[in-house]
Structure 1
Amino acid sequence: MNISDNTENDVQDAKDVVRRFYDALETRRTQTLPDVMAEFCADNLLWRGFSPFDEIVGPQAVAEKFWQPLRRSLTRLQRRMDIFFGAKNRHDPDGDPWVCSMGHLMGLFDAPWLGILPTGKIVFLRYAAFHKVRDGKIVETAMYFDVPHLMMQAGLRPFPTQTAAELVQPGPRTHDGLLFEAQPLDAGAKTLAAIEAMITDLGQWNSGMPLEEELARTWHDDMIWWGPTGIGATYTIERYAKQHSGPFRAAFGERSKTKHVCRMAEGHYGGFFGWPNFTAVPTGGFMGMPATGKAGEFRVIDIYRRDGDKLSENWIFIDLLHFWKMQGVDILARTTDIAAGEATC
């Protein structure tokens, strides 16, 4: 196994910190969560979350603003991880290890959350998170979660019907995404190279070749693109081109260069996030909404599975609530206000 001892030890230690943190978040009492955050996170923790949370600084503030309200609303909360890996971050000059996980937070929706009325039934909050670990403490977190997907499980319709499929999304087809043990460095290098080749093609938006031919350079034909609620999931290069990539490119102009806070890979899995990843101006219809001509930010997490030399599956988290708020539409407030009004009729 071709692994540097120092890299392996740093990454494995970071994974251990995050796994113990997750266990404490799930098993300890709700009122003790500020103590849990203080135990595992640095005093100056920088936490980035999707709208309406945005940036929060400090472990106590994160516990009070995010974790405690969530635990009180989604009772008996449990984390159901599908992917877990760690590596050094290509964009982090400090050289600290990062750890990524993805899956769902499942609970019984017993009390309102963000103005969304409870159902008393099981709900899944789809999430992905990146954690930077230094000296045994989490110093940065990006935790992105699909609030519109939870809204739909509560009977709300935050967006018009979209081009792809809306569903509870599974983990990898291969069921091998939990990389608790160290992986060969050459496997992670191949995954990162595949991701970066795809980014190079994607960043052009005009490669001079048909879209499906461009996608085939870095994707398997039976690729699966597990997109966020409001866009949906799609299967095969042909349907991805028709149901997302083509319409998305047609809907935007003035796309900025891509910037990532973290980009990394371990084994056959890798991913990245930005804050934002890029900006673009809606010049055509997008998600059933008219063009605004206003630049909008795309805060995105992408998680990938590589098969051979190409990418096979991709899980995507996009802060569509933030994007539309920048366009002057507060989707969360509008949808929950309508639901509250109907509930009182």
Structure 2
Amino acid sequence: MSVELPMSYDSKSQKTLEIVKAMEDALGANSNDMDQYFHKEFRWMGNQGCGIKNNLEEFRNNWQLPLRAAFTDRIYKTDKFLVDGEWASCFGHIDALHSGEFMGIKPTNQRVKIHYTDFWEVRDGLIIDNWVNVDFPSILSQLGIDVFNGMGWETFDRGEVQPPKPN
């Protein structure tokens, strides 16, 4: 009699990483066939400005395609992956050309760096959840818009403004 043992922690983590990397490769190659990577109950939750996508179609129509329209000649660079069982995370950036409208900003034909952090949950061999943080203030700054109106805490770092102290 053969007994199937559960996947070990390390092999589960490895499988999760393989799934996420394959999906990232497909995104980087402008694939339009992403069903093979995502669970039917997939959700994509982004920070302010990114929105929440409740399924793969919303992700494609309301994130993937608008990103492609605003930024062409994209080079994806994941700096580091962290994996723990059914969870994977990474941080990295996209080097891209701002060649389409982005958040009301007309194309500048300027290269920008789009920093991001992703957390994925993989269930049944498919990505079910993706929590995302995209550094929109940095992108906007590169395009000449200071969303902090000169009041970002970098002014403390440069010694331009004295940081407040608690009472």
TM-score class, shorter: 0.7 to 0.9
User: Are 1:118 and 2:107 matched, yes or no?
Assistant: yes
Residue identity in the other structure for 1:124: K
**C-alpha distance after superposition, 1:110-142 (max 9, x if no partner):** 001221222101101110000001121000000
Assess if the C-alpha contact under 8 Å between 2:16 and 2:88 holds in 1: yes
> TM-score, normalized by length of structure 1?
0.43
Aligned residue number for residue 153 of structure 2: 163
Residue identity in the other structure for 2:12: D
**Does 1 or 2 have the higher relative contact order (CA < 8 Å, sep 6+)?**
2
**C-alpha distance after superposition, 1:249-288 (max 9, x if no partner):** 849xxxxxxxxxxxxxxxxxxxxxxxxxxxxxxxxxxxxx
Assess if the C-alpha contact under 8 Å between 1:46 and 1:55 holds in 2: yes
RMSD (Å) for aligned C-alpha atoms: 2.3
Assess if the C-alpha contact under 8 Å between 1:117 and 1:154 holds in 2: no
Aligned residue number for residue 15 of structure 1: 17
Q: CA deviation at 1:156?
A: 1.1
Assess if the C-alpha contact under 8 Å between 2:74 and 2:96 holds in 1: yes
User: Are 1:26 and 2:28 matched, yes or no?
Assistant: yes
Q: Distance in 2 between matches of 1:62 and 1:250?
A: 42
Residue identity in the other structure for 1:7: Y
Q: Distance in 2 between matches of 1:134 and 1:121?
A: 39
| Alignment counterpart, residue 38 of structure 2, candidates 37, 41, 48 | 41
Residue identity in the other structure for 1:47: W
Q: Distance in 2 between matches of 1:115 and 1:250?
A: 38
Unaligned runs of 5+ in 1: 89-96, 166-230, 252-345
Aligned residue number for residue 55 of structure 1: 52
> TM-score, normalized by length of structure 2?
0.85
Q: CA deviation at 1:78?
A: 1.9
Residue identity in the other structure for 1:127: Y
Matched residue pairs, number?
Answer: 157
Identity, % of aligned pairs?
23
Q: Distance in 2 between matches of 1:23 and 1:81?
A: 11
With over 3 angstroms needed to count, the CA separation of the structure-2 counterparts of 1:98 and 1:154, relative to structure 1, is same
